[in-house]
Chain A
Amino acid sequence: EFQLVESGGGLVQPGGSLRLSCAASGFTFSSYWMHWVRQAPGKGLVWVSRINSDGSITTYADPVKGRFTISRDNAKNTLYLQMNSLRVEDTAVYYCAVSQGGTPGNWGQGALVTVSS
């Protein structure tokens, strides 16, 4: 059974950095593409980034390009999202998800990131 657990969220000041982790279990992590998706409080879903199974291909939404970096450690079954130069508008619950049929399929419970002074 696909299990994903996000961690690393919290309160950070504008301009600061944070790294989210997503621990995967119950499936062969190294065989799947992975996504990050975020949701601001009371708002809709926003796709953030995607990485292929071996980490060689990464893509980003325009609002985070150049500030966020997605990566993975297949030996540790863990997905990461390094977030730099954080802005107030980056405040959201961040979900990791396993790509199924090209789309986010199985989702974690999410990690809340709050950017505020």
Chain B
Amino acid sequence: DIVMTQAPLSSPVTLGQPASISCRSSQSLVHSDGNTYLSWLHQRPGQPPRLLIYKISSRFSGVPDRFSGTGAGTDFTLKISRVEAEDVGVYYCMQATQLGTFGQGTKLEIK
């Protein structure tokens, strides 16, 4: 089974400043079809998750361009260029290359 490890697990950030979350997989996420099914989701308290990024770096419909994803193979990063108040919550990476696995989640909070 593929294990997804996120860091940090908690991230206090200042409004307007950048933030970054790392996600590492226990094995390569490159699928036999050539795609890498690594995505990032955001969940606010009491709400269902919302897809931000899929296939490493593609922004989902309606997602602001301050969110970006990078990486390859086993190491991936979500970056928020300038954190806004609505960005608080928990961020999850997820792999769908082999079945599906989520990371533990990273809680983003405002300093």
Q: Which residues of A line the B interface, CB within 8 A?
A: 35, 37, 44-47, 50, 59-62, 95, 100-110
Tell me whether A105 and B102 are in contact in the complex, defined as CB-CB below 8 angstroms, given that A45-B94, A110-B48 are known contacts: no
Query: Which A residues touch B58, using CB under 8 A?
Result: 101
Complex CA gap A105/B49 in Å reads: 9
- For A60, the chain B residues whose CB sits under 8 A away are 99
Q: Is B19 at the interface (CB under 8 A from chain A)?
A: no
Q: What are the nearest 8 A-B pairs in CB distance?
A: A47-B100, A101-B54, A103-B39, A107-B48, A102-B37, A45-B102, A44-B105, A105-B51
Q: Decide: A103 near B49, CB < 8 A? Known: A44-B102, A45-B41, A45-B105.
A: no
A44-B49 Cα distance, complex, nearest whole Å: 11
Given the interface contacts A101-B58, A102-B37, A102-B96, does A46 sit within 8 Å of B102 by beta carbon?
yes
Residues of B within 8 A of A59 (CB): 99
Q: A61-B100, A62-B1 are in contact. List 8 more A-B contacts (CB 8 A).
A: A44-B90, A45-B41, A100-B54, A102-B39, A105-B51, A105-B60, A106-B51, A107-B51
A109 to B50, CA, bound (A): 11
